[in-house]
Structure 1
Amino acid sequence: MWAAVGLSLVVLLVTYITHWITQWRNPKCNGVLPPGSMGWPLVGETLNAMTLSNSIDLHPFVKRRVTKYGPIFRTSLVGRPIVVSADPEFNSYLSQQEGKLVELGFFDSFTKILKVSGEITTAGSIIHKYLRSITLNHFGAETLKEKLLPLIEQMVVKTLASWSSQASVEVKHASSVMLFNFGAKHMIGYDAETSSDNLSNKFSEIMKSFLSFPLNVPGTAYHNGLKVIITMLRDMLKKRRMSPDKHRGDFLDQISSDMDKEKFLSEESVVYAIFGVLLAGFEPVSSIMALAFSLLAEHPAALKELTAENEALLKNRENPNSSLTWDEYKSMTFTRQVVNETLRLGNVAPALLRRAVKDIPVKGFTIPAGWIIMALTSALQLSPNTFKDPLEFNPWRWKDLDSLVISKNFMPFGRGSRQCAGAEYSRVFLATFLHVLVTKYRYVDNDQRARIAQNPMLGFRDGIHNKFEEKKN
């Protein structure tokens, strides 16, 4: 009898698992799903998507599936059903449908890290609008022009002087530290030189968990790092709120003050909002900065023209030692072309994530409501239909590109109302860094080649190590 019961249980278990796997591989849809594969249950195709790529080209995971299924295909990543689109027409259409057919979407790992609620991910949500507004207020074009530009230059001068005293510098990590320390100082008053906590390293470790499965378990390095950061930010917030007479007029001051007026700003939401803005403000741009070193080392003609433009700028000044002005920044045509070309190749934001709020028909297929849509901006920026020899570093191409073509095919920081509020800040930081670098220093790429390591974000295998030498007049 017990043998019969055991056999029945086994049969039921096998039947249940088979049914579950069948449902996983064939999701419900009021129409025809885009072609593709859902991969293994729960894991999906995450492991394939996270494999290392040693090319600046589209990730092999995407290229293989576009070749097999076409520019729109389905998959499953980090536990979520996803439609990936490398179709320029559909991606452009999506950007016009926010608040109608789609809303801002995140991977579960992202929402777990930031404790993002459903309200935050709703297109046009109050919190998103507020955070965008306050970020632009403290890091937007007007603040850059009136206040931050000379401070950025001072930070770059100080950083490069420090680098020149070292035998070799791993520029990706060192740039990350510079960008984080500057942003944290002007957001929350964090002083890296006096603080006992190395926040930049802790934030870098958290960043690595974004497109993986963050193990937030007590005792792990991830859990401990996150706990330290959140505790520190919460303590900073409490101190500011308890000492109104010591306000500094920074991001933390404004958001802590607004907590008394805006009901949606709870202590927890404010702490995690600050955490999220800090996290987004340094890591991707440091990758672009590191990429610029390699690209310029491999293209001496571009480095020569970049240097000539910036040295000419100094010669035209009445005082060669004065700070970089906003008008000078705007006049640095080739410098900004170098920045654009590096951003195009580096794809600081390789994809935009949206969530379908309704079933979306697209070219004979249906994207079910609730699914994440990954619109690949990288596919646009590396398309040979728009950019001749798209994998070539060619800053001069920007002289002849039509502004309308650029707006539709170049979105390194997103587009429209969802464009990163720190886009201009990032461009200014990159241009200022290049200005100081080429006018005051020479650098030697100790490895002589870029070691691209997309996994899936832009990285560098073994790092990029340079030696810096101050130029002598």
Structure 2
Amino acid sequence: MALHFGAKQMFSYDPEKSSIDLTEKYVNFSKGLLSFPLNVPGTAYHKCLEDHKKALNVMLEVLNKRLSSPETHQGDVLDHIIKDMKVENFLTEEFAVQLMFGLLFVTFDSLSATLTLAFKLLAENPTVLEDLTAEHEAILKGRENPNSPITWEEYKSMTFTLYGTHAIPAGWAIMAVTSALQLDPNTFENPLAFNPWRWKDVKANVISKHFMPFGGGMKQCAGAEYSRVLLSLFFHVLVTKYRWTKIEGGDIVRTPILKFRNALRIKISKKHT
């Protein structure tokens, strides 16, 4: 879901019209990233490289079609990239395709896991869901038109949904194993517990040293703000318009990257207004 949404915004991808399943290609690419680099048929690494090429070819084909029909405009990210290609020498066709692949990977890898984790943890922690819903329903009540789109001010008011950013001082060099920092019981009491309220009392200097979900410094994840905005807007619609219950699955494993041993199955329905 997250990848299809991101691909639609990126280059108007329609999974029903495409001969290539991008989700499958990205899954295989992700599995091969941390595999043993043995490039022979049958290995995860070989599959990773092959599906990486196939995904790039899909995007290159779309790019070439747009370049051959300059009058065609879809209003997506690719339109802006093509516009910039006319004035920026470094923006070659190859660079543009790699850029789209990288930006789309952000939507697939981190957002898919985060959304799955949110469905699981919110279903298992109704008190958290109650506070989250109250925050977003307050936004709706404060509008003159409840059906109007979310404004930037409303997005920034989601203090329970979104924890604020932090600045890395100039000149700092940071090399950290973020999973070790974020799971340190000396810093975060009971670090494996789902406790969003912990962020209300934690000090800024503790956050800057021990909580880096998007990295830090000059190499912070390029998709950081995109991820924050998309997740916040998704939760706004989710908790104000829908309810769900967990059926089964969603068992968490850490390698140390958080993954799921099996699929999370939920039952979702619209709220009655």
What CA distance in whole angstroms lies between the structure 2 residues aligned with 1:457 and 1:321? 38
In the superposition, relative to structure 1, how do residues 238 and 461 fare at CA in structure 2: closer, same or farther (>3 Å)? Answer: same
- The residue type paired with residue 56 of structure 2 is I
Deviates more, 1:298-307 or 1:309-318: 309-318
Q: Unaligned 5+ residue runs, structure 1?
A: 1-177, 341-372
- The residue type paired with residue 17 of structure 2 is T
Deviates more, 1:451-460 or 1:283-292: 451-460
| TM-score calculated relative to the size of structure 1 | 0.50
What CA distance in whole angstroms lies between the structure 1 residues aligned with 2:23 and 2:197? 35
Partner of 1:179: 2
How does 1:20-39 map onto structure 2 within 5 Å? Answer: none
Choose which of 146, 157, 163 in structure 2 pairs with 1:320: 146
Q: Shift of residue 249 of structure 1?
A: 5.3
Choose which of 160, 171, 178 in structure 2 pairs with 1:334: 160
Alignment of 1:302 with 2:102, yes or no, is: no
How does 1:148-227 map onto structure 2 within 5 Å? Answer: 178-213=1-36, 222=48, 224-227=50-53
SS at structure 1 position matched to 2:122: helix
What CA distance in whole angstroms lies between the structure 1 residues aligned with 2:48 and 2:215? 29
- The residue type paired with residue 272 of structure 1 is Q
- The residue type paired with residue 251 of structure 2 is R
What CA distance in whole angstroms lies between the structure 1 residues aligned with 2:92 and 2:144? 51
Alignment of 1:433 with 2:234, yes or no, is: yes
Q: Shift of residue 423 of structure 1?
A: 0.9
In the superposition, relative to structure 1, how do residues 270 and 333 fare at CA in structure 2: closer, same or farther (>3 Å)? Answer: closer
What CA distance in whole angstroms lies between the structure 2 residues aligned with 1:234 and 1:203? 16
Number of residue equivalences: 261
- The residue type paired with residue 259 of structure 2 is G
Partner of 1:72: none
What CA distance in whole angstroms lies between the structure 1 residues aligned with 2:65 and 2:255? 39
Higher-Rg member (1/2)? 1
What CA distance in whole angstroms lies between the structure 1 residues aligned with 2:90 and 2:139? 48
SS at structure 1 position matched to 2:110: helix
Contact 2:179 2:256 in 1 (8 A): no
Choose which of 216, 220, 235 in structure 2 pairs with 1:415: 216
Percent pairwise identity: 54
Partner of 2:111: 285
- The residue type paired with residue 430 of structure 1 is L
Deviates more, 1:315-324 or 1:389-398: 315-324
Which of structures 1 and 2 has the larger relative contact order (alpha carbons within 8 angstroms, sep 6+)?
Answer: 1
Q: Shift of residue 182 of structure 1?
A: 2.0
| TM-score calculated relative to the size of structure 2 | 0.83
Partner of 1:470: 270
- The residue type paired with residue 209 of structure 1 is G
In the superposition, relative to structure 1, how do residues 227 and 216 fare at CA in structure 2: closer, same or farther (>3 Å)? Answer: farther
What CA distance in whole angstroms lies between the structure 2 residues aligned with 1:228 and 1:259? 23
How does 1:133-152 map onto structure 2 within 5 Å? Answer: none
- The residue type paired with residue 407 of structure 1 is S
What CA distance in whole angstroms lies between the structure 2 residues aligned with 1:428 and 1:443? 22
Q: Shift of residue 234 of structure 1?
A: 1.7
Q: Unaligned 5+ residue runs, structure 2?
A: 165-173
